[in-house]
Chain A
Amino acid sequence: MMLQAVLVTAALMVASLAISWYARRHTSTTAEFYLAGRAVGIFANASAISGDYFSAASFLGVAGAVYAAGVDGLWIGTGFAAGFVPVLLFFASPLRRFGEYTLPDFLASRFQSRTARLAGVVMVQVVVLFYMAPQMIGAGTIWELLVGRGFLGLSPYATGVALTTLMVATFTAMGGMRGTTWNQAVQFWILLTAVVLVVALALAAGFSYGGVLGDVSRGPLVSPERWRVADLLQADPELGRRPVEMARAVMSPAYWEAHIAPVLNEPQTEVVVLMPQPDRLRPELTAQFNRPGGQYGPLDQISLLLTLVLGTAGLPHVMIRYYTNPSGLVARWTTVWVLVFTSGFYVLAAMVGVLGRALVPQLLYQGGRGLLVPTVDGVLLRPDTVLPLLAQSLGGPLVFGDVAAGAVAAMFSTIGGLLMAAAASWGHDLFERYLDPGVPERTRVLVGKLAIGLMALMALALGLLVPRLGLDQAYPAVIARMVTWAFSVAAGGLVPVLFVSIWWRGVTLRGALAGMVLGGGGAVVYIVLHMLYVLGRLPDGLSLELLDHMAYPTLFTVPLALGAIYLVSWLDRRNLPGNVDEVWMRIHGTAAERHARRVARVGRVSGP
């Protein structure tokens, strides 16, 4: 247990609660509670969006992905950042100009349809649940790493999940969107500072990016793999040699003699060895750190990148933040700043991954200052621990504390954003619109807070359920994998319908619904099939070769959804919504915000 880390993390938790306590006075109306009064400026909202966006998968996972897979890992961070380009080009300004509260609000008004709203609510909830699950896994994992013990009879993992749920639900319900915004902005700068510190310390210690990259790219890219000794000794007919020889060739003689050689006469024993990774783009070669192919084949290279760049615009907790900007113009500039923040962060996180490849063996050799993280012959068993390890080794307990607080901050800000988006969907889209439209403002806010509690319970259940399903064992980098699944569902289920609703007059309600069902439903079905495939539970006789080559379905769900929207809308062209001109005036005209600016200016230059 790292006392300093726990203290810094505890300080962050207290600060989050204090901010929410201070912000609670701004939660008296639904516009304040859900949207911070639509008065969040460019810098604050860009910081908050970045904090909202950087989950545990980003903060620990991107450095870990680069550490584990080299160039292929780089694309995860780069794709996360690039996702804001489509947001800027096609969505941020029109959605903000349309106003309202949520994505289902937009769909309901665009198509003058309750069905569109309900379909939007379902899709929002599905995306939120997909995104929430890995955050809860991250919460449990970080608690295991930091504290390593459970309370009240719970395991360390379950304690982390439960405590995080309780904390985030409390500060989100208390502070509403205003408190969540302030918290997310502060949390973003904490986690950015943590990465900057680690990189600065490494460079100050004399490590150069290029030099380190050259060093780690000399040999083959190796990863720890668990093998049964009997399988390790059996010749691979495809390779024409035994796996044990391949492992022996890339591991140090000292480690081999000490840890592997003594168990090679026990066929049923399992050992973890380093294995050179095949180049999945050029099978005749072994993978190398500075070459793509260490993790993804040709289809996955494209599918992963498309998933990340197209999915961002469909993430409800990110897009709801644009409604907190005062205008479409401000929403655009906010996105430019988000691009700067996220790109900068991921460039630095990637550097941490590269530095880790070179530094971890040295740090382990020197001994003493590092965390007790499991390694195999100088390679981390869990790549996600590379950032905390470097922080502890290079900067000591205080920098490690900052990184630990950053990891917790990343989870808090993302889970807080998810809870707000889900609560807005339940409270605003369902309760206020259908169940009790005439209810007073105070009750609406109360319902929003109750919705946060309900979603928090679902998050808790998800966090505890995933390990029971065995998904964390089946997928080595389960957090990053599940986050990318959420992007897939958003990319298929929400992005195409939002895109055509903003940029094509000809879309009809039926077309929109067809796109959501095929795009979102197709993504969910594909992901479930992939889970069953990896868990070895696919029904007998069902063999899908594609599952082996493509982990994310965006490559076909987005074209499928767009095609369905176009085809069905064309067939249904007599039923165009009657309010398209009015919607166009709102999302593409600027009169309302020019008027608001003028009123604000008059208010500024004259007193009350």
Chain B
Amino acid sequence: MADWKTPQNGGAEEALGQELADWAPTDWVIEEYDTPEEVEAVFRAQRRLSFRYGGLFLAATITLPVLNSTWGYWVHEPLGKGFTLAYLAAAFLYPIFCVLLGLAYTLQANRLEEDLLGRRR
């Protein structure tokens, strides 16, 4: 059996301690595997998730320039200090929407994979 490494600081010690607690001697021989059926299931679930978020993103992305061309209030009425809705959307709301959408998707996609995959032998 190989020697154990000694942690050098508190944070690393805690993390390593957790890993040691999770670790078992059988880790050497465990093999991770997915079955084709499981992969097909996770593919379908991921596709549903990605397409749902993708549809939302595409709808927002196309709606904004369409609003620019069609809705007078969107472009003409300052909300205060010169900000129109069109300006606010392009400068702040759309970028924030993109970041939040990306974050929400990532959390869900990772959880989905954890739930549907993970066989060992």
Contact = CB atoms under 8 A, between A and B. Distances in A.
Interface of A: 70-71, 74-75, 78, 81-82, 84-86, 88-90, 93, 208, 210-217, 281, 290-293, 298, 301-302, 305-306, 309, 329, 332-333, 335-336, 339-340, 343, 346-347, 350, 503, 581, 584-585, 588-592, 594-595, 598, 601-602, 604-608
Interface string B60-88: 01101110110000011010111110110
B9 interface: no
Given A213-B82, A590-B113, 5 more contacts: A82-B57, A82-B98, A298-B65, A346-B95, A607-B2
Contact of A210 (B28, B66, B80): B80
A350 B91 contact: yes
B42 to A, nearest CB: 6
Determine which residue in A78, A86, A89 has the highest number of CB atoms from chain B within 10 A of its CB, and name it. Answer: A89
A336 B103 contact: yes
Contact of A339 (B23, B32, B36, B102): B102
A217 B78 contact: yes
B50 A89 contact: yes
Determine which residue in B1, B94, B96 has the highest number of CB atoms from chain A within 10 A of its CB, and name it. Answer: B94
B68 A301 contact: yes
A213 B68 contact: no
B106 A290 contact: no
Contacts of B76: 291
B98 A86 contact: no
A347 B91 contact: yes
A581 B19 CA distance: 34
A607 B82 contact: no
Contacts of B113: 329, 590
A211 B78 CA distance: 12
B84 to A, nearest CB: 5
Contacts of B36: 581, 584-585
A90 B54 contact: yes
A317 B33 CA distance: 32
B85 to A, nearest CB: 10
Give the dominant DSSP class at B's interface.
helix
B102 to A, nearest CB: 5
Given A339-B102, A588-B42, A604-B5, A291 B32 contact: no
5 contacts: A78-B90, A78-B95, A85-B57, A298-B65, A339-B98
B32 A605 contact: no
B82 A217 contact: yes
A75 B106 CA distance: 25
Contact of B69 (A210, A281, A336, A607): A281
Nearest to B1: A606
Contacts of A340: 99
Interface residues of B, number: 64
Contact of B87 (A71, A581, A605): A71
A291 B113 CA distance: 44
B68 A606 contact: no
Nearest to B99: A339
Interface in B17-66: 19-20, 23, 27-28, 30-34, 36, 38-40, 42-43, 46-47, 50, 53-54, 57, 61-62, 64-66
Contacts of A212: 82
B101 A347 contact: no
B22 to A, nearest CB: 8
Contacts of A88: 102, 105-106
Determine which residue in B3, B43, B78 has the highest number of CB atoms from chain A within 10 A of its CB, and name it. Answer: B43
Contacts of B66: 302
Interface of B: 1-5, 16, 19-20, 23, 27-28, 30-34, 36, 38-40, 42-43, 46-47, 50, 53-54, 57, 61-62, 64-66, 68-69, 75-76, 78, 80-84, 86-87, 90-92, 94-96, 98-99, 101-103, 105-106, 109-110, 113, 117-119
B46 A588 contact: yes
Nearest to A303: B65
Contacts of A503: 47, 50
Contact of B32 (A302, A350, A591): A591
A214 B84 CA distance: 10
Contacts of B31: 595
Contacts of B103: 336
Contact of A589 (B3, B34, B54, B87): B34
B6 to A, nearest CB: 10
Nearest to A607: B3
Contacts of A329: 110, 113
B32 A594 contact: yes
Given A332-B109, A595-B31, A607-B3, A85 B23 contact: no
Contact of A85 (B19, B75, B101): B101
Contact of B106 (A291, A333, A347, A585): A333
A71 B39 CA distance: 45
Nearest to B28: A602
Given A290-B78, A591-B33, A595-B32, A213 B83 contact: yes
Determine which residue in B36, B61, B62 has the highest number of CB atoms from chain A within 10 A of its CB, and name it. Answer: B61
B75 A293 contact: yes
B98 A85 contact: yes
B79 to A, nearest CB: 10
A309 B101 CA distance: 14
Contacts of A332: 106, 109-110
Contact of B43 (A85, A302, A343, A584): A584
Contacts of A606: 1-5
A347 B2 CA distance: 52
Contacts of A293: 68, 75
Contacts of B61: 82, 305-306, 309
A301 B40 CA distance: 39
A212 B4 CA distance: 62
Given A85-B98, A89-B57, A291 B4 contact: no
A605 B16 contact: yes
Contacts of A301: 65, 68-69
Given A281-B68, A290-B87, A607 B5 contact: yes
A584 B27 CA distance: 26
Nearest to B30: A598
A71 B90 contact: yes
